[in-house]
Chains A and B, each alone.
Chain A
């Protein structure tokens, strides 16, 4: 038994026949080949799989692909525009907010969600907003600095961080 779903991912339309038990994260990774979204747990606790769904961050391992039918998904691959890095991406690079990089895509998408709600977060607000995204490498300090850097950048150049 399969179902047909239609959705937009990073601004592109897709129509696929999927098994109803297929998770959104596996749809993105295995069907569409968008392997930037990572999986690091089985219990919805690590945040590595975070994507934007209809403008809100969701853990794509807790959603079925069929639930995304008709919706709009944005993954880390859709964060840069025309080859220009999003300020958050730039911030994580410049401020060294990553080591192995495995948590980074999810961390970026959660940060995007934070900055959309709160364009000028304090370090404490960042720490709490990103509490659901585990990182085993960096010790988080530079991640906070990266998000702050991006917030400043987006204030200075509002167009830079427009998420469609």
Chain B
């Protein structure tokens, strides 16, 4: 087993650098921001799911104490639509366009008052007369418009239909997963302020560069005149990947009342305003030989979509990559309904994993082959679609190490055979092949005369540990102590960066920091090019390296000098260099890998009550080089618990008649609490990835993938009940 560690700082379990700020309550989140003269906004949301507004009577609200404005579609200026967003597609439609209602909870007015209490009270006085029409609801509603292959991401190879028709064994089942809501703990907030034509927004976003672009487009101002700030964020899980209508409304309100305006969403509004994991259904057909070789996969994934919004959903995106199977067809369908727009929620594509990994488990019983062995028989040694070698893949090692730690060999194959008294015990497992992209990213790194370094980029830390990892990397690459590096992120004025999302940021930013550090050493050597007093004069980048605050020759560490000495002698306060990555997979001669994992779960079910308990989960993860073991492990544990929520608790319920979300509070929408959490074991295996400049692969999402299938497969092993719909509830087990 190779546990990935690296030279010096990388891989060290460095304590997070933002720890002290966060344990003292001093980390400023967007909702903490205030300004002199700041006023408060409250949203008014539609109470019907479809129809039009006949009239709005805002007179009482406008006359209420402290009220500064009631903005509706009747008095709002026309706003442009947001731009096409890289990675995610069209921006959410701009608000208050007209009198049409497309979903329950649509923002129909924003009320601004001196105090939050005044705005809240006045919002209740806005009277709206609706003309209601029958909403289109329900994923299988025949009246709903269906989009086919909306993103051009379907996979075709070989002839899946023919191979299915002639396969020795055929599997054909359907799966259903309830809608879920991201629910970061931090309520999303926007504080907007205009200085003339310049807009400053403190915004709950995972992507300041995108938020700036969106606001600039919507308000028709130059991008340089918009600044988006988010030094700290109370979690995101995908909800902060778009600039949603409430943020636009807050900026609009600030412009109209000419005061700084703060809007904090309520918890129910977090269900209707910032996306959610779409409800999905899947039909999965497999063809296999009696010896357990897959010969065909046909996978249809259907997800819900808002009436007019776009959401890049790809349930079956990994289906073609996960196993060596010659004939594969995947199909993406989106169904337009009168619901708030879905969006990404941690690990989009995990739905497809649930189906494939459940199906393989079923096949293992049909064929009498151990579930783990079945996966190994179909192991994709190269990328099955392109035929290219993976840039890294240690899934086999994940299986081996995970199985060992879990004690998979103790499993007796017969259903119900591991019963302990009243407890039905089951073991289940799942394999995980997940995507993860490196995205274009820029950064500026500088060193000051006091020897300290400064790293600046418009990236964010949504809790994942960007500050810490960036600090470690810069320290390592520039030969400095952790304490000498300051990282400044969460500000759209800095060098453009990709989102904290899609498991992309640490690797992308890390690659850019590496580039910048190299450029910075070059910049120092340039300064010394004509400097006869320097032992490094005339040296090239490849001749030198950095350690202990100095640049020295690779061959002879005694020949060199400190950054401080160089800067002082040349009377420079600071030397800076930019860095970037622009990953190009085409022509790289390899298939860029995302992370891989194997999950093993033990469940216990009370034979009489149907009560389901997850006793333990072992996760073996290949995420390439691990930059910080402590942070990485925490990502996997946290995501695993979110996966337990998805599997056993979480369900956003749309009332089938009204389209209203029936459980939009923490009392009714259950997320795992402390006492729900079992014994969780995490182990990292694998080697640095060849396509990633720093060897890492994203690990923010992989931890949620495979949890559902591992648990459902264990439930089957314990009880003989095959559950193909999530969440698994007690009534399915009685």
B-binding residues in A (CB < 8 A): 19, 21-22, 26, 29-30, 33-43, 45-46, 48, 75-77, 79-80, 85, 88-90, 92-94, 96, 98-105, 108, 126-128, 130-144
Q: Which residues of A contact B667 (CB under 8 A)?
A: 43, 45
Give the complex CA separation of A48 and B27 in angstroms: 14
B267 contact set on A, CB distance < 8 A: 40-43, 46
Residues of B within 8 A of A30 (CB): 34, 116
Chain A residue nearest to B269 in the complex (CB): A42
Which residue from B235, B463, B675 sits with its C-beta under 8 Å from A127?
A: B675
The one of B184, B666, B680 that contacts A141, using a Cβ cutoff of 8 Å: B680
**Interface SS of A by simple majority:** loop
Would B185 and A100 count as touching, CB distance under 8 A? yes
Asked whether B631 is an interface residue with its Cβ less than 8 Å from the other chain, the reply is: yes
- Contact at B235–A99, with CB atoms within 8 Å? yes
B297 CB–A CB distance under 8 Å: no
Contact, CB under 8 Å: B24 / A100: no
Q: Is the CB of B15 within 8 A of A42?
A: no
Interchain nearest-CB distance for B618 vs A (Å): 14
Q: Which 7 A-B pairs have the closest CB atoms?
A: A36-B25, A100-B463, A101-B22, A102-B234, A139-B641, A99-B463, A93-B19
Are the CB atoms of B25 and A34 closer together than 8 Å?
yes
| Residues A133 and B186 in contact, CB atoms below 8 Å apart | no
A141 to B603, CA, bound (A): 19
Name B24's contact: one of A89, A94, A127, A142 (CB within 8 Å). Answer: A89
Question: Given the interface contacts A43-B267, A127-B677, A131-B674, does A96 sit within 8 Å of B630 by beta carbon?
Answer: yes
User: Given the complex of chains A and B, what is the CA–CA distance between A105 and B672 in angstroms?
Assistant: 19
Provided the pairs A36-B24, A40-B267, A141-B677 are in contact, do residues A136 and B465 lie with their beta carbons within 8 angstroms? Answer: no
> Which residues B183-207 have CB closer than 8 A to chain A?
183-187
Complex contact A93–B15 (CB within 8 A): yes
- Is B23 part of the binding interface, using a Cβ–Cβ cutoff of 8 Å? yes
Among B579-587, B632-640, B716-724, the stretch that binds chain A is: B632-640
A101 to B231, CA, bound (A): 12
Q: Closest residue to B117 on the A side, CB-wise?
A: A21
Q: List 16 A-B contacts (CB under 8 A).
A: A21-B117, A41-B665, A42-B665, A75-B25, A89-B23, A89-B24, A94-B15, A99-B463, A100-B184, A100-B232, A100-B463, A102-B29, A102-B463, A127-B674, A128-B675, A139-B634
> A93-B15, A138-B638 are known contacts. Are A101 and B463 too (CB-CB below 8 A)?
yes
- Chain A's closest residue to B40 (CB) is A30
B642 proximity list for chain A (CB < 8 A):
136, 139
User: Taking the complex as formed, is B266 at the interface, i.e. its CB lies under 8 A from any CB of chain A?
Assistant: yes
* Partner among B24, B235, B266, B671 whose Cβ is within 8 Å of the Cβ of A42: B266
Q: Which residue of B lies closest to A91 (CB)?
A: B23
Q: Is the CB of A43 within 8 A of B674?
A: no
CB of B26 closer than 8 Å to a CB of A: yes
Q: Which residues of B contact A48 (CB under 8 A)?
A: 185
Complex Cα–Cα for A35 and B21 (A): 12
Chain B neighbourhood of A19, CB < 8 A = 115, 117
Contact B234 A100 (CB under 8 A): yes
Contact B634 A134 (CB under 8 A): no
B465 contact set on A, CB distance < 8 A: 99
What residues of chain A lie closer than 8 Å to B29, measured between beta carbons? 35, 38, 102
Question: What residues of chain B lie closer than 8 Å to A39, measured between beta carbons?
Answer: 31, 187, 264
Chain B residues with Cβ below 8 Å from A26 are: 116
Name A37's closest neighbour in chain B (CB-CB). B25
Q: Are B666 and A43 in contact (CB under 8 A)?
A: yes
B233 interface residue (CB < 8 Å to A): yes
What is the count of residue pairs linking A and B with beta-carbon distances less than 8 angstroms?
178
Q: Is the CB of B680 within 8 A of A79?
A: no
The yes or no answer to B16 lying at the interface (CB within 8 A) is yes
State whether A77 touches B25 (Cβ < 8 A). yes
- Contact among A96, A127, A136 for B631, CB-based, below 8 A: A96
Interface core residue of A19, A38, A100, A142 (most chain B CB under 10 Å): A100
Closest approach, in angstroms, between the C-beta of A43 and any C-beta of chain B? 5
- When C-beta atoms are compared, the residue in chain B nearest to A128 turns out to be B675
User: Is B637 a contact of A142 with CB atoms below 8 Å?
Assistant: yes
Chain B residues in 8 Å Cβ range of A139: 634, 637-642, 672, 677, 680
> How far, in whole Å, are A19 and B115 apart by their CA atoms in the complex?
11
- In the complex, which residues 202-253 of chain B have their Cβ closer than 8 Å to any Cβ of chain A? 232-235, 237
Q: How far is the CB of B615 from chain A (nearest CB, A)?
A: 14
- A29 neighbours in B (Cβ, 8 Å): 32
**Residue from A35, A76, A108, A136 in contact with B671 in the complex, judged by beta carbons closer than 8 Å:** A136
Contact yes or no, B237 A35, CB < 8 A: no
Q: Which residue of A lies closest to B462 (CB)?
A: A100
How far is the CB of B436 from the nearest CB of chain A, in Å? 19
- Considering the complex, give the chain B residue whose CB is closest to the CB of A40: B185
Q: Mark B488-503, 1 if CB is under 8 A from A, else 0.
A: 0000000000000000
Question: Which residue of A45, A92, A131 contacts B665 across the interface (Cβ within 8 Å)?
Answer: A45
CB-CB nearest in chain A for B628: A96
A35-B32, A79-B24, A140-B641 given as contacts; is B671 within 8 A of A134 (CB)?
yes
Verify if B1 is at the interface (C-beta below 8 Å from A).
Answer: no
Interface residue from B19, B28, B187, B464 paired with A40 (Cβ < 8 Å): B187
Give the distance to chain B from A25, nearest Cβ to Cβ, in Å: 11
Specify which of B24, B183, B631, B634 is in contact with A85 (CB 8 Å cutoff).
Answer: B24
- What 0/1 readout, one digit per residue, does chain B (1-44) give for beta carbons within 8 Å of chain A? 00000000000000110111111111111011010000000000
Judge whether B185 and A137 touch: CB under 8 Å: yes
Docked Cα-Cα span, A105 to B32, in Å, equals 14
A100 close to B680 (CB less than 8 A): no
A112 nearest CB across to chain B (Å): 12
Contacts of A88 in B (CB 8 A): 23
List of A residues within 8 angstroms of B235 by Cβ: 99-100, 102, 136-137
Query: B234 — which chain A residues lie within 8 A by C-beta?
Result: 38, 40, 100-102
Q: Are B15 and A96 in contact (CB under 8 A)?
A: yes
The chain B residue with its CB closest to the CB of A104 is B22
Q: Is B673 an interface residue (CB 8 A)?
A: yes
Most buried by B among A26, A33, A138: A138
Known: A42-B266, A127-B677, A128-B675. Contact between A77 and B24, CB under 8 A? yes
Residue of B nearest to A86 (CB): B23
Q: Is B479 an interface residue (CB 8 A)?
A: no
- CB of B693 within 8 Å of the partner chain: no
Check A143 against B34 for contact (C-beta < 8 Å).
no
Q: Is the CB of B675 within 8 A of A137?
A: no
A136 touches B183 (CB 8 A): yes
Report B264-289 CB contacts with A as 1/0, cut-off 8 Å.
10111000000000000000000000
Told that A35-B25, A45-B667, A96-B634 touch, could you supply 18 new A-B pairs with CB distance under 8 A?
A38-B29, A38-B185, A42-B266, A43-B666, A46-B185, A85-B20, A93-B16, A96-B631, A100-B234, A103-B185, A104-B22, A108-B23, A134-B673, A135-B185, A137-B463, A139-B634, A140-B674, A141-B637
Residues 111-126 of B, flagged 1 when their CB comes within 8 A of A and 0 if not, give 0000111000000000
Which residues does chain A contribute within 8 Å of B15, judged by CB atoms? 93-94, 96
Tell me the smallest distance from the CB of A100 to a CB of chain B, in Å.
Answer: 3
> How far is A94 from B20 in the complex, measured between Cα atoms in Å?
10
| Binary flags per residue of B317-335, CB closer than 8 Å to A gives 1, else 0 | 0000000000000000000
Q: Which residue of the partner chain A has the closest CB to B121?
A: A21
When C-beta atoms are compared, the residue in chain B nearest to A22 turns out to be: B117
Instruction: Determine if B25 and A102 form an interchain contact, defined as CB atoms under 8 angstroms apart.
Output: no
Quick check: B638 and A99 within 8 Å, CB to CB? yes
Residues of B within 8 A of A38 (CB): 29, 31, 185-186, 234
A46 to chain B, nearest CB (A): 6
A42 to B665, CA, bound (A): 8
The docked-state distance in angstroms from the alpha carbon of A104 to that of B23 is 6
A130, B634: Cα distance in complex, Å: 19
Shortest Cβ distance from B678 into A: residue: A141
Interchain CA distance A127-B679 in the complex, whole Å: 12
Contacts of A85 in B (CB 8 A): 20, 23-24
Closest A residue by C-beta to B23: A89
Please tell me if the beta carbons of A142 and B674 are within 8 angstroms of each other in the complex. Answer: no
Q: How far is the CA of A101 from the CA of B665 in the complex (A)?
A: 21
| Complex CA distance for A139 and B638, rounded to whole angstroms | 4
Residue of A nearest to B268 (CB): A42
